[in-house]
Amino acid sequence: MKQRALFLTVALTACGAVLPQQHAASTPDAARVSPRGVTCRETAPGAADPTAVHGLMVWIDSTHLTTAQPDILHYLPGDPKLCGASIDVLWSGIDKGPSAPHQYRWKVVENAIAPWVAAGKRANLLFVGVNEVGTADTATPSYVLAGPNPAPTVPACTNPGPGTQAGPPTPVYWNPRYKGPWRAFIAAAIKRYGRDPRIGYMRFGLGAGAEDFPQHGADGNCFAAWQKYGLSGAQYWAAFSSDLTRYIGRTARADHSTVQQIVALNPFADTASPYPVAGAVASAAAGAGVGIGTENLGSGNYGSTVQPCTNAQYWCGAFDASAGKVPEEFQPINFTLDENITIAPLTSLLPYAIHNHAQIFELYPQEWLTADDPHFPTYAQYHRAWQKTLSQAADILGRSK
C-alpha cells in the first residue's frame, strides 16, 4: 500500500552521504545469465516463467506525469535496459457512462503509451477503479457515484493507522451498482487491448488503487465502518478478490487475449480471524493464468541480503507456490534513496527480488534518473552503482533492441 504521491526530488543530504556498503551492486547468479543476452520480448531462460512477460519497467503513477516531469521522457526511453512503462490509468478517464454516445474513450490511454511505443518499448496498463488516497474518489466514474441510483460508499477513513494516508469515501466493491460497471469496464479494456502487441500486461485493481485492499484502515481503525456494508473479515475479502481475479482470467480467455493479466497481492490484518488473503488470491490467479505481484517490495526493512524470503513477508508463500506457473511482479514501496523511509537500496533489493522469483519490476522514475540523468540530485554519487545493478538485472530479464 503506497503513499501515492510521486515527487522527483530528494533531500540533498542523501547525496552528501558516503555510499554505504550495502549499496554496492550485488551480482546475480551467473547460471541465470544468458551468454548471448535476452531481449524484452524473447524467452528469458533465467526467469522463473521464461516464456511469460518479463523485464525492468518504469512506474508512471498518472497519465500526465511525463508532462509534469519532462526529464522522464528525455532520458528514459533511450535506455536499453528499460523494457517498458507501467502506467496508472483512471477508470473515470475512459468510461463516460452508458448514456454517452461512445461510453469508452481510449484517447487518454493512447496518448500515455505513445512516446514509449515510439521508442520501441512496451506499455503496461494499470487500471485504477478507486482512489487510494486523497479527499475525493476521482477514479470511479461520476455516473457510478452519483445520479438516481448511486453505488453506496463507505465514509472517508480519517485515521487509517500509522504510516498510511487517509483515503476518500470508497464505493462498496461488491454492491451491484459498482461491481457491474467495473466488470463491464474490465471486459471492454481486455477487448480493446488484450491482443495488442504494444501492451506487455494489464493490471486491474481488485480494491483501491491498482491493488487489493478495500481502503487504508479497513482492516484496522476503519473496520467497523466496513462491517456495516458486509465486510466480515479477511476471509470475506479474500473470497471477493479471488472471484474478481477468476473473472479477469475467464474474460481474457474468452477474448483469446495474448496480453498477460496480473493482479496485486496485499495483506489483511484480521486479528479476530486470521486468514492468508495473499495466498488465496495467488492460488485463484495461478488457476486462472493470471500473474501476481506486490507493490510493497522492501516495506519492513528486508532485502539487504540476497536470500529466500520468510513468512514475515506476506507475499512469500504465495510467490513460492506460484513460481514458474505465472509471472511475478514487484514494485518497491518507494524510491530506495528516499531518506524519509527505511528500505534496502536498489542495489541489493533488486537481486533479492530476482532470487525470490520476480521477473517484472516497476521501478520508480527516480531510480532510472539516478542512473541516467546527470542533473538528478542522486546521479553524481550513485549512478555507477545503479547502472551496474540495472545492467545485471537486464542480463537476466532482457533489454530492448
Identify the residue whose cell numbers are 528469458: 44
The pLDDT > 70 percentage for the chain reads 91
pLDDT of residue 10 exceeding 50: no
- Phi, psi (deg, nearest 5) at residue 197: -65, -10
d(CA 39, CA 121): 11
Residue 81 pLDDT > 50: yes
What fold, for 29-397?
TIM Barrel (3.20.20)
pLDDT tens digits, one per residue of 46-60: 999 999 999 999 999
Global pTM? Answer: 0.92
CA distance 76 to 133: 28
Listed by start position, the domains of the chain span 29-397
The string of DSSP codes covering 308-356 is ---TTSTTHHHHHHHTTTS-EEEEESS-TT-TTS----HHHHHHHHHHT
Residue 7 pLDDT more than 90? Answer: no
Give percent of the chain with pLDDT exceeding 90: 83
pLDDT 10s digits, 361-389: 999 999 999 999 999 999 999 999 999 99
pLDDT band at 270 (very low <50, low <70, confident <90, very high): very high
**Mean of the pLDDT values across residues 132-136?**
91
Q: What average pLDDT does the segment 62-83 reach?
A: 95
127 sits in which H/E element:
strand 122-128
Task: Give per-residue pLDDT as tens, 154-213.
Answer: 999 888 887 788 889 999 999 999 999 999 999 999 999 999 999 999 999 999 999 999
